[in-house]
Structure 1
Amino acid sequence: MRPIRLISLALLAALAGLWGASWALKAPGEGIGESFARRIASFTGADIPPPSSGGVVMPQGLSLGGPFSLTDHTGQAVTEADFAGRVLLVYFGFTFCPDVCPTELGIMAQAMEDLGPQAAQVTPILITIDPERDTPAALAPYVQNFHPAMRGLTGTPQQIAEVARRYRVYYQRVQRPDMTEYLMDHSSFIYLVGPDGRVRNLFRPESPPEAIAAAVRGVLRAG
């Protein structure tokens, strides 16, 4: 029994050492549990995603985004190829949105400011989920109010439904009895898209702009 006891004590000592190292070496924004799992993974060869700087790391095997054909706020036809090689911050919303959309677009704009000169490599995009009202003429002044580099994209209802499906965006028209204008109920994530067109991170509503900027810098470093 003594060898088993010695082995158990050695394992406990090793785990205690790993826990201490996890606390000392954890990355900014990383929990102690995540750091401990990373230390364990380093011994097993497993691949654990790095911390997401406040965003939701995309699980392996889950792919969001892809080809699209839309019209920008200048009336120009655009596809995903027009943004190839650039980092994108993408939000799905609509210009009549009373609260959530302006808040999230403002966060995107602040993240662009936080990036400084690196913002030249990033394009913030609003894709409308209300193409009936959000024509290019309606989108143009709206997006420019947030950031001069922001692009507004619209299209036919079928084109919008397709791009929303590729990003797994929920949206639905809502007509309240006490309102003359309808609203759009929709999911509210900011998508960080890499230069390869692959979604790298999702950011929940009201995520700190500095966290988004930090994640963008990580993608820019990785290329």
Structure 2
Amino acid sequence: MSDPRTRGLLRGTALATVLTLGLVVTVTGCSRQPNASGNSATTSQRAGPGGPFTLVDTKGKTVTNETLKGKPYAIFFGFTRCPDVCPTTMARMELLRKRLGTDADKMNVVFVSVDPEHDKKEDIASFLSMFDAPVIGLTGDPAELKRMEKSFKIYVERVPLPNGDYTIDHTARILLFDRDGQFVDTMDAKEPEAQAVTRLKRLIDA
């Protein structure tokens, strides 16, 4: 696990970025927009992202699309070593949850790692501990994750680095699902805070 001082610095930086830049997602290596066919609530649910999956959370408990039913949820696909968009997006969700007030616990926030080679349960738990919000962190078998990425229409591409390491380009939007697990919409990274909160409240009240 990373040093607490480092986690605190990263979290503070991410929050500052959210507040001052409005989550402008333009950085290489965690910046692609989704290939989902719909960006509005009027899009046919059948044509949208989603489908069955079986993953595990940070405590090793099995989580499926069925176990998430009962509450609407916002799901984001990322990786723990992402230097910018992923921590900033999670800080964004932390901020929006606070703006929801007493309604915050009526929906779930889900983080799915697209880097099973590196991100073990402990890594995801450490990453999510930077944020003052409950988040369901998930990983699983690489083949299952690939299948889920395809059904959720998530772009993921491993990008080699000169030092022999790698980074990952991936969809950088949040997908919204209703309490029945049906796709509703995507959340634009540049969306004004008040508008985002209104849409989340509408999702909760539906």
Q: Please confirm whether the aligned pair reaches a TM-score higher than 0.5, indicating the same fold.
A: yes
Which one has a bigger Cα radius of gyration?
1
Aligned to 1:89: 74
Q: CA deviation at 1:215?
A: 0.9
Q: CA 1:181–1:211 in structure 2 vs 1: closer, same or farther (change >3 Å)?
A: farther
Aligned to 2:178: 194
Pairs within 5 Å for 1:54-69? 56-57=40-41, 59-60=43-44, 61-69=46-54
1:75 aligns with 2:60: yes
Higher relative contact order (CA 8 A, sep 6+): 2
| Cα distance in 1 for residues equivalent to 2:173 and 2:76 | 6
Q: CA deviation at 1:147?
A: 3.4
Q: Deviations over 1:24-55 (max 9, x none)?
A: xxxxxxxxxxxxxxxxxxxxxxxxxxxxxxx7
Aligned to 1:115: 100
Corresponding residue to 2:191 among 174, 191, 207: 207
- Residues matched between the structures, number: 167
Aligned to 1:102: 87
TM-score w.r.t. length of structure 1: 0.70
Higher helix share: 1
Q: CA 1:210–1:75 in structure 2 vs 1: closer, same or farther (change >3 Å)?
A: farther
Is this contact kept in 2: 1:70–1:153, CA < 8 A? yes
TM-score w.r.t. length of structure 2: 0.76
* Structure 1, unaligned runs of 5 or more: 1-54
| Cα distance in 1 for residues equivalent to 2:130 and 2:53 | 25
Corresponding residue to 1:182 among 166, 179, 182: 166
Larger deviation: 144-153 or 163-172? 144-153
Is this contact kept in 1: 2:94–2:133, CA < 8 A? no
RMSD, matched Cα: 1.6
Q: CA deviation at 1:180?
A: 4.4
| Cα distance in 1 for residues equivalent to 2:195 and 2:176 | 12
Identical aligned pairs, as a percentage?
Answer: 29
Tell me which amino acid in the other structure corresponds to 1:192. Answer: L
Aligned to 1:128: 113
Q: CA 1:66–1:147 in structure 2 vs 1: closer, same or farther (change >3 Å)?
A: farther
Is this contact kept in 1: 2:107–2:204, CA < 8 A? no
* Structure 2, unaligned runs of 5 or more: 1-38
Q: CA 1:147–1:158 in structure 2 vs 1: closer, same or farther (change >3 Å)?
A: farther
